[in-house]
Amino acid sequence: MGNSAIKSHLETSQKTGVFQLTGKGLQEFPEELQRLTANLRTVDVSNNKIEELSPSIGNFLQLKSLTLNSNKLTSLPSELSKLRKLETLSVKGNLLQQLPASLGQLRALRTLNLAGNQIREFPPGLGTLRMLDLLDLSKNHIRAVPAEISALQAIEINLNQNQISEVCAEVSSCPRLKVLRLEENCLELTSIPLSILSQSQISLLSLEGNLFQVKRMRELEGYDQYMERFTATKKKFS
């Protein structure tokens, strides 16, 4: 990737506040962007070969959207927490195993996409993300949904294609959770907490591709209450 190409992108970005350079074989986050820390609101450097994100990412204080999909990142710097205006962080298709604890300081974050990484445990400390709408952790190696999930403010949590064999009852206490996706995991029918059906706000529980036939859900206590929520939501959007 030649400097002249980056330079022409920089000139455009200065006017638009958007820097997009995808599929160009970049091996590092362009340091040249430091000149635009006051301007940039959107950065997309997906489909490159970036292995490390420099701590200087914390200088982009106006950034609202950061997309780093399909790179080779194994970690994220704690300096990301300085991006207090960030609403969308998408890092799907990388090699992440865990997140910096400081990520919980991104108070404006609405979408956090971590799909297709190597995360083995449900990330702790996300309950402080009060604006979070969507948390996507699909296609990772998570085995259990822990009790601390109850602090999450997300409206939708996607855990499809993990290795989950247990779901805690506390998921029923998530205050805003409407959509819980658990397709293609290792769940038995007995692993589904009945409180999800009878006591939660969840109106779409997606369970195809587990170790039981979905129609057997009808046998569970609280299924009728869940179906009332499901039907009411469907009517609202039809």
DSSP string of 97-166?
Answer: ----GGGGG-TT--EEE--SS---SPPSS-TT-TT--EEE--SS---EE-GGGGG---SEEE--SS---E
Q: For residue 184, what is the DSSP state?
A: S
- Residues whose CB falls within 8 Å of the CB of residue 129, separated by 6 or more in sequence, listed in order: 104, 106, 107, 109, 112, 152, 153, 154
Residues 124, 135: Cα–Cα separation, whole Å: 13
What tens digit of pLDDT does each residue of 166-192 get? 999 999 999 999 999 999 999 999 999
What tens digit of pLDDT does each residue of 16-58 get? 999 999 999 999 999 999 999 999 999 999 999 999 999 999 9
- pLDDT-above-90 percentage for the chain: 93
Comparison of pLDDT for 44 and 234, the residue scoring more: 44
Residues 238, 58: Cα–Cα separation, whole Å: 43
As a whole number, mean pLDDT of residues 95-121 equals 97
Comparison of pLDDT for 5 and 40, the residue scoring more: 40
Both tokens of 203, joined, read 């109106």
Q: Is the dihedral of CA 191, 196, 202, 204 positive or negative?
A: positive
Residues 136, 140: Cα–Cα separation, whole Å: 10
pLDDT exceeds cutoff 70 at 87: yes
The answer to whether the CB of 152 falls within 8 A of the CB of 174 is yes
pLDDT exceeds cutoff 80 at 3: no
pLDDT exceeds cutoff 60 at 13: yes
> What's the pLDDT score for residue 8?
81
What tens digit of pLDDT does each residue of 126-138 get? 999 999 999 999 9
> What's the pLDDT score for residue 232?
93
Both tokens of 187, joined, read 């769940």
Residues 101, 91: Cα–Cα separation, whole Å: 16
What tens digit of pLDDT does each residue of 61-85 get? 999 999 999 999 999 999 999 999 9
Q: What is the mean pLDDT of the chain?
A: 95
pLDDT exceeds cutoff 70 at 2: no
Both tokens of 179, joined, read 């959509």
pLDDT exceeds cutoff 60 at 225: yes
What tens digit of pLDDT does each residue of 192-214 get? 999 999 999 999 999 999 999 99
